[in-house]
Amino acid sequence: MIEIKGLMKSFGKNQVLKGIDATIQKGEVVAVIGPSGSGKSTFLRCLNRLEEPTGGTIRFKDRDVTAAQRDLNVIRQKMGMVFQHFNLFPHMSVLENLTITPRKVKGMNKEEAEKIALELLRSVGLEDKRDARPDSLSGGQKQRIAIARALAMQPEVMLFDEPTSALDPEMVGEVLDVMKRLAQNGMTMIIVTHEMGFAREVADRLIFMDGGYIVEEGLPREVLSNPQHARTKEFLSKVL
């Protein structure tokens, strides 16, 4: 579904991605781990071109993401993204957060957009917050709304950029539960995360990044319990 070849990204002289090759299958759940500064967030943000790659190609289905001009916005509709800091729109109600893009970008009418939005709010257990302002929600609630907002565009793949890193510990579970259910329903997901337990349980594949490269990848259980590469061992010994 997504094919990445020789992906590179530099910020000025600082080369963050030094040639990433990866293929993501439809329905696959891929967890990306690695030390901070390893380029894992940049990698994810290159996939929908929130960061402009400086080299390599990304193909999403039959489209060339790296060359896309006007149709980039169409591609992005198919790639939902969830951010570490939620980035809900604070000047809108929860319901409006979920309906504004389907209405304004897809031209969906209000009734239909609200119907989809309410179903999604129910699925993340926050139907009663439809008229609340984002400021009045807890971190866990905000992130569940953010996931629902991305899903409201009916994407084919979901990108998660450290979705639980900004949460208080007691709220991590509720967000992971939502993500787990999404994975079970067959959503293609790429998750940059520090939650090793979650990666082991939910991901089909684990990618370990360090220094702008994919150092090691494989089944989460195998990579976590029997890492092959020295740097993977070193990283895991610190976090597990």
Partner 1 sequence: MNFSFLDDYGSYFLNGAWVTLQLSFFGVLFGTLLGIVFALMRLSRVWIVRILATAYIEIIRGTPMLVQIFIIHFGLTNFGINFSPFMSGVIALTINSAAYMAEVFRAGIQAIDKGQTEAARSLGMSRGQAMRLIVLPQAFRNMLPAIGNELIVIIKDSSLVSTIGIAELMYNARTVQSSTYIPLEPLLVAAGVYFVMTFTLSQLLNVLERRLGKR
User: What residues line the site for partner 1 (CB under 8 A)?
Assistant: 48, 50, 73-74, 76-77, 79-81, 83, 85, 87-91, 100-101, 104-105, 133, 146, 149-150, 153
Query: Shortest gap between Cβ of 101 and partner 1 (angstroms)?
Result: 4
Q: Which is nearer to partner 1, 18 or 49 (CB)?
A: 49
Q: Shortest Cβ distance from residue 138 to partner 1 (Å)?
A: 18
Contact criterion met (CB below 8 Å) for 161 and 81: yes
Q: How far is the CB of 235 from partner 1 (least distance, A)?
A: 27
* Closer Cβ to partner 1, 43 or 83, answer by number: 83
Calculate the dihedral angle through the C-alpha atoms of 17, 21, 24, 28, rounding to the nearest 10 degrees.
-80
Q: Contact, 81 vs 29, CB < 8 A?
A: no
- Give the residue with the Cβ less far from partner 1, 150 or 178: 150
Residue 40 or 205: the one with the smaller Cβ distance to partner 1 is 40
Per the CB < 8 A criterion, the answer to whether 143 and 86 are in contact is yes
Q: From residue 189, how far is each of 31, 41, 91, 204 by CA, in Å?
A: 8, 14, 29, 10
User: Least distance from C-beta 115 to partner 1, angstroms?
Assistant: 18
> Could you write out the three-class secondary structure of 166-227?
CCCHHHHHHHHHHHHHHHHCCCEEEEECCCHHHHHHHCCEEEEEECCEEEEEECHHHHHHCC
Cα–Cα dist 205/159, whole Å = 15
Q: How far is the CB of 143 from partner 1 (least distance, A)?
A: 12
The residues facing 158 across adjacent strands are 80, 189
- Of 126 and 223, which CB lies nearer to partner 1 in the complex structure? 126
- Closest to partner 1 by CB, 142 vs 231, is 142
Closest contact distance (angstroms) between CB of 178 and partner 1 is 18
Q: Which of 25, 70, 28 is nearest to 49 (CA)?
A: 70
Q: CB–CB of 47/190 below 8 Å?
A: yes
